[in-house]
Chains A and B, each alone.
Chain A
Amino acid sequence: MTPLFAALDTQALTQYLINGLSYGMLIALVALGYTMVYGIVELINFAHGDLFMLGAFLGWTIITAVFKVSPDDAVLGPVALLVCFVIVPAFCGLLNFSVDRVIYRPLRKAPRLAPLVSAIGVSFIFQNLGLFWGGPQDVDFPKLVSNKNLLGLDATVRFTYQDLLVVGVTIPLMIALTVFVKLTPLGKAMRATAQNPTAAQLMGINTERVIATTFILGGTLAGFGAMIYGLTINSIHYQMGFLVGLYAFTAAVLGGIGNIPGAVLGGLLIGLVRSLGSAYVGERWTGALIFAMLIVVLVFRPAGLLGARVREKV
C-alpha cells in the first residue's frame, strides 16, 4: 500500500466520523425525548417520531409560506430561521404536553398496554395530519444553511456550516438539559419521580407537574431536532417520523432507557454505524445493521450500555 493511499484512507475515515457524529447528535436529540418520558412514566412514546415530523412541517411552512424566503435571501433567511427555532420547539413541546394531558394522563392507572397502544394511535393521527399538510410526496425543505466547507474550499475533509449548526445547537441544549436535571429543584423532582413515583409523591412532589414538564422538554428537543433535520437533510416526508423515531428509540435503548447520557451515547453510536456502515458495507444495509446491533446489545446487556441492571421486584 502506498503512503498516499493510506493517507487518503484516514481522511476518508475522518470524514465518515464527522458525518456520523453529526447525524448521531440529531438522533440523540430525538432520543432524549424518548428516554426522559420513559424514565418518568415507563411509556414508549410511539408518537414522538411523528411529533418530530410535524415540527419539520411547521418549520417548512413558516419558511416557505409565511416568510416566503427565496434561497439566497441574506436578510429574510436568518430572520425566518430565528423565528423557526423559537416557534417549532415551542409548538412541539406544547403539542406533546397536550397529548399527554388529553390522552395518556387518564390512563396512568391502566395496564401498561393501554398508554402504549394509545401512543400508536396518536402516531397514526399525526402521520395522517402530516399527509394532509405536505402531501404524499417528498417535500423540499429550503436550504437556508449552506453546506460550504468551513475548512477551506480545497480541504479534503469537509466540516460544513450545516455540521456547525448541528454542533452549535445540540451541544448547548444537552448542557442545558444536564444542568436542568442535575441542579434545579424541578430537575431533582424529576429524578426522584423517575426513581420511585409513589415515594416522590409522598415527599410532596407534584408528580403530574413533573410528568408535564418532561413531555414539554422532550417535545421541545424534538422540535430542535426537526429544524436541524430539515436544514441538513433538506427533504421531509410525512412518514419520516417512523424511521427517525425508530433510530432514536433504538439509541435510547442502546444507552439504557431512562438514562440521559446513555441516549446521547446511543445516538452517536447509531450515527457512526450508519455512516461507517454505508461507507464500508453499503448504504442499503445500514438499517439492518443498526437493528442487528440493537438486538446484539440487548441480548448481552439487556439494560443497555449505561443502564443499571434493575432487579425485578417480586
Chain B
Amino acid sequence: MKSNFPSWSVVLFAALVLYPLFPAFDQHFFNVTSRSLGVELPGLFLFAILALALNVVVGYTGLLHLGIAAFFGIGAYTVGILTAPINPFGISFWAALLVATVVATLAGLLLGAPALRLRGDYLALVTLGFGEVVRFTIKNLPAITEGPKGVSPLPAPVLPGVTVDWNTDYRPFYYLALAALALTFYFLYRLERSKLGRAWVAIREDELAASCMGLNTSRLKLAAFAVTAGIAGFAGGIYATKMTSTVGPEAYDFNKSIFVLCCLILGGLGSRSGVLLGVFLLYGFDYILSPIIDGFIQASGLGQGKIWQQFSGWRLIVFGLVLIVVMRVRPQGLLPNDRVEEELRHAPPATGV
C-alpha cells in the first residue's frame, strides 16, 4: 500500500506552529471573548492525542473501549507523584513522562489480558468497570494520591534553552503539546501501515477470518490495548504538568471516556483526520465556544443564573443529540475512513445471531 503522508496534516501543523508568531490575533480574540486561543489550544491538542489513542482499539481493531480516561489518569498521576516537590522522588518531567507511558502501557496489558476472553458488550463493560476501579483507587489512596484534591503543585518541565516562565507564557506548553500531537500522529500514521496496523484492521473486519489466516488475534488485541493505554498515559502526563496538578479523580471519570468516544464517532472511526475534526468540533464547542457564549450571555444580562439560561447548561443535550443524529444520518462519521464506510454500507443485520 503506497500512500504519501497526508498533505492536509502538514499544512495544518504548519499553521498551528506559526500561530503563536502572530500575537496580535490572539490578543484581538482575547479582547472580544476574554479568552486566549493560545491558552486553550494545548488542551485541545492533548485531547486529540487521547482520541487518536482510543482510535487504535475502537477504530482500527473494532473493540468497544469505555475506560480510556483511566489510562489518561494513570499517566497524569504517575507524572504527578514522581515530580511533585511534596514527594521525595524529584524526578525530572521528561523521565517521569517516559515512566508514565510505560506504567500506562502495563496497565493496558493488565486490563487487556482478562478482557481478551470476552466479546463485544462484555468487553465494553469490563473496560468501563476497570475505569471505575482506577478512579475509586485514586480517590481512596490519599496517602499517595492526595485523594479527591489531587497531587499539586507540579513543577514545570526544565528544557535547556527555554528561559520563559511556563506558567505565565502559554507558548512552551503550546509547543510541547503540539509536538506531542505531531509525534503521536506520525507514530500512528506509520503504525497504521505497518504489519501490526493492518492486522488490527483485519481483526475488525472479520476476527475469525483473521485468525484463520494465521494471525494471533489475542496477542494483537493485547497489543492494541497496550498502545492505546500507553499513548493515553503519555497525554495524561503532559496534562498533569500543564495543569500543575493531577486535578483529582473526577477528571478521569466515565464522562471523559465517553467524551473521547464521542469525538471518534462524530469524526469517523478509524480515520485519523476524522478523529482530529471530531476533537476540534466537540472540544472546541465544550471548552472554548460554550464558555465564550456564556460570557456573552452574562455580559448582556440575559442569564439570571438559572442553569437552563446558561448555554453550557445545555451541553449534555447537545452531545446527546449529536450522537443520536450522527448515528441516524451518518453512522460512518463526518470524515470517514473509506474501509469503515464500505463496511457500514454492507453491514449485516445487527440481531440475526
Contacts and interface: CB of A to CB of B under 8 A. Distances in A.
Interface of A: 38, 41-42, 44, 103, 106-118, 120-125, 127-129, 131-132, 135-136, 196-198, 242, 246, 249-250, 253, 257, 282, 284-285, 287-288, 291-292, 294-295, 298-299, 302, 312-314
B317 A128 contact: yes
Given A114-B331, A123-B320, A242-B254, A295 B130 contact: yes
A313 B258 CA distance: 31
A196 B351 CA distance: 9
11 contacts: A103-B324, A109-B347, A109-B350, A110-B350, A113-B265, A116-B124, A124-B323, A125-B320, A246-B132, A249-B125, A292-B133
Contact of B64 (A114, A116, A291): A116
B352 A288 contact: no
A196 B118 contact: no
Given A131-B313, A298-B118, A44 B124 contact: yes
Contacts of B162: none
> Taking chain B's interface residues, is the majority helix, strand, or loop, or is none over half, making it mixed?
helix
B140, B262, B350 — most chain A CB neighbours (10 Å): B350
Interface residues of B, number: 50
Contacts of A132: 307-308, 313
Pick the 8 closest A-B CB pairs, nearest first: A121-B323, A124-B320, A291-B129, A128-B316, A125-B320, A288-B136, A121-B320, A121-B324
Contact of A284 (B139, B315, B322): B139
A285 B324 CA distance: 35
B327 A107 contact: yes
Contacts of B140: 282, 284-285, 288
B316 A118 contact: no
Given A118-B328, A120-B320, A122-B324, 10 more contacts: A38-B121, A108-B349, A121-B321, A125-B320, A127-B316, A131-B313, A132-B307, A288-B136, A294-B125, A298-B122
Contacts of B118: 298-299, 302
Nearest to A285: B140
Interface string B310-353: 00011111011111101110010000000000001001011111
B350 A128 contact: no
A111 B344 contact: yes
A111 B331 contact: yes
B120 interface: yes
Contacts of B320: 120-125, 128
A118 B331 CA distance: 10
A314 B209 CA distance: 10
Task: Give the interface centre of A115, A285, A291 by most chain B CB atoms within 10 Å.
Answer: A291
A49 B285 CA distance: 27
B126 interface: yes
B350 A250 contact: no
A294 to B, nearest CB: 5
A106 B328 CA distance: 8
A274 to B, nearest CB: 13
B316 A131 contact: yes
B87 interface: no
Interface in B272-324: 307-308, 313-317, 319-324
Given A125-B317, A298-B126, A113 B64 contact: yes
B117 A120 contact: no
B132 A291 contact: yes
A117 B120 CA distance: 14
Contacts of A249: 125
Contacts of B117: 299, 302
A204 B121 CA distance: 30
A312 B351 contact: no
B208 interface: yes
A110 B347 contact: yes
A89 B350 CA distance: 30
A42 B324 contact: no
A291 B133 contact: yes
Contacts of A131: 307, 313, 316
> Among the interface residues B308, B327, B347, which one has the most CB atoms of the partner chain A within 10 A?
B327
Contacts of A257: 121
B114 interface: yes
A295 B265 CA distance: 26
A108 B351 contact: yes
B199 interface: no
